[in-house]
Structure 1
Amino acid sequence: MEKIWLQHYPDSVPAEIDADHYASLVDIFEQSVKRYAKDTAFINMGREMSFSELDRHTRNFAAYLQGLGLKKGDPVAIMMPNLLQNPIAIFGVLRAGLTVVNVNPLYTARELKHQLNDSGAKAIVIVENFAHTLAEVVDDTPVEKVLLTQLGDMLPVPKRWLVNAVVKHVKKMVPAFELKNTENFTDALNRGSNLDYQRPEVSGEDIAFLQYTGGTTGLSKGAMLTHRNIVANLEQVSVILESVLEPEKELVVTALPLYHIFALVANCMTFVKYGCANLLITNPRDMPGFVKELDKYPFSVITGVNTLFNGLLNTPGFKELDFSNLKVSLAGGMAMQRPVAERWQEVTGCTMIEGYGLTEASPVITVNMPTNKTFTGSIGLPIPSTDVKLLDEDGNEVPMGKPGELYAKGPQVMKGYLNREDATAEVLKDGWLATGDIAEVDEDGQFYIVDRKKDMILVSGFNVFPNEIEEVAAMMEPVVEVAAVGIPNESSGEVVKLFIVAKDDSLTEKTVIEHCRKHLTGYKVPKAVEFRSELPKTNVGKILRRELRD
Structure 2
Amino acid sequence: MNLSSRLGETAKKYFDKPAYIFQGNISTYAELDGAVSKFASGLEQLGIKKGDHIALVLGNTPHFVIGFYGALRVGATVIPINPIYTPDEIGYIVNNGDVRAVIMLDLLVPLFEKMNQHLPKVEHLIVCETSPGANNELDVSKLSIYPKLKSFTEVVDTGNLPFPGPVLEDDDVAVILYTSGTTGKPKGAMLTHLNLYSNARDVADYLKISKEDQVITTLPMFHVFCLTVALNAPLMSGGTMLIVPKFSPKEIFKLAKEYEATVFAGVPTMYNFLLQYPEGNPDDLSSLRLCISGGAAMPVALLKGFEQKFNVLVSEGYGLSEASPVTCFNPLDRPRKPGSIGTNIVNVENKIVDENGDEVPEGQVGELIVRGPNVMKGYYKMPEESDAALRNGWLYTGDLARMDDEGYFYIVDRKKDMIIVGGYNVYPREVEEVLYNHPDIVEAAVLGVPDPEQGEAVHCYVVKKNPDLTEDDLLVYCREHLAKYKLPSKIEFIEELPKNTTGKILRRALKDLVTK
**Same fold per superposition (TM over 0.5):** yes
C-alpha distance in structure 2 between counterparts of 1:432 and 1:546, whole Å: 39
Q: Does 1:147 align with 2:126?
A: yes
Mean Cα displacement is larger for which, 371-380 or 140-149? 371-380
**Which residue in 2 is equivalent to 1:522?**
none
Q: 1:120 to 1:450 in 2, by over 3 A?
A: same
- Which deviations, in whole Å up to 9, do the C-alpha atoms of 1:461-517 show, x marking residues without a partner? xxxxx99xx9xxxxxxxxxxxx9x9xxxxxxxx9x99544489xxxxxxxxxxxxxx
> Could you tell me whether the CA contact under 8 Å between 2:213 and 2:263 is conserved in 1?
yes
- In the TM superposition, residue 131 of structure 1 has moved relative to its aligned partner by 2.6
Corresponding residue pairs, total: 442
Q: Which residue of 2 aligns with 1:278?
A: 241
Match of 1:199 among 160, 165, 171: 165
**1:346-385 alpha-carbon deviations (Å, 9 max, x no partner):** 1221111011110000111111112456553211111222
Give 3-state SS (helix, strand or coil) of 1:455's partner.
coil
Q: Measured at CA, do residues 177 and 341 of structure 1 come closer, stay the same or move farther in structure 2, by a change above 3 Å?
A: farther
Share of identical aligned residues, percent? 32
Aligned to 1:43: 21
2:202 maps to 236
Deviation at 1:290, TM superposition (A): 4.1
Residues 27, 441 of structure 1: alpha-carbon distance in 2 compared, 3 angstrom cutoff: same
Cα 1:315–1:547, aligned 2, differ >3 Å: closer, same or farther? farther
**Letter of the 2:305 counterpart:** R
Aligned to 2:391: 429
Give a deviation string over 1:433-479, Cα, whole Å, max 9, x none. 111111010110110011203139xxxxxxxxx99xx9xxxxxxxxx
* Counterpart position of 1:250: 213
Task: Read off the aligned partner of 1:249 and give its amino acid letter.
Answer: E
Shift of 1:200: 1.3
Match of 2:150 among 183, 190, 198: 183
When the two chains are superposed, the root-mean-square deviation of aligned CA atoms in Å is: 3.3
**Per-residue deviation, residues 222-257 of structure 1 (Å, max 9, x unmatched):** 111001111221232233223xx4x32110011111
Distance in 2 separating the partners of 1:393 and 1:445: 21
| Inter-partner Cα distance in structure 1 for 2:370 and 2:324 | 12
Q: Partners in 2 of 1:544 and 1:452 — Cα distance? A: 20
> Does the C-alpha gap of structure 1 residues 289 and 26 become closer, same or farther in structure 2, counting only changes over 3 Å?
closer
> Measured at CA, do residues 75 and 371 of structure 1 come closer, stay the same or move farther in structure 2, by a change above 3 Å?
same
Q: How does 1:162-181 map to 2 (within 5 A)?
A: 164-165=132-133, 179-180=145-146, 181=148
> Structure 1 residue 364 and structure 2 residue 326: aligned?
yes
Are 1:25 and 1:227, in contact at CA under 8 Å, matched by a contact in 2? yes
Give 3-state SS (helix, strand or coil) of 1:454's partner: coil
In the alignment, structure 1 residue 97 sits paired with structure 2 residue 75: yes
Tell whether the 8 Å contact from 1:404 to 1:439 is kept in structure 2 after alignment: yes
For the 8 Å contact 2:282–2:309, the answer to whether it is kept is no
Distance 1:547 1:50 in 2: 50
Tell me which residue corresponds to 2:372. Answer: 410
Q: Which residue of 2 aligns with 1:455?
A: 417
* DSSP 3-state at the match of 2:285: coil
Moved more, 56-65 or 307-316: 307-316
Q: Which runs of 5+ in 2 are unaligned?
A: 429-444, 455-478, 493-506, 511-516
Match status 1:264 vs 2:227: yes
- 1:208–1:225 Cα contact (<8 Å) kept: yes
Paired amino acid for 2:145 = L
In 1, Cα distance between the equivalents of 2:144 and 2:259?
40
Provide the residue aligned with 1:15 in structure 2: none
CA gap of 1:497–1:252, structure 2 versus 1, over 3 A, is: closer
Mapped to 2, the partners of 1:68 and 1:341 lie a distance apart of 49
Check the 8 A contact 1:132/1:178 in 2, yes or no. no
Letter in 2 for 1:149: C
> Partners of 1:123 and 1:296 in 2: how far apart?
38
Q: TM-score, normalised by structure 1?
A: 0.74
Alpha-carbon distance change, 443 to 373 in structure 1, aligned in 2, over 3 angstroms: closer
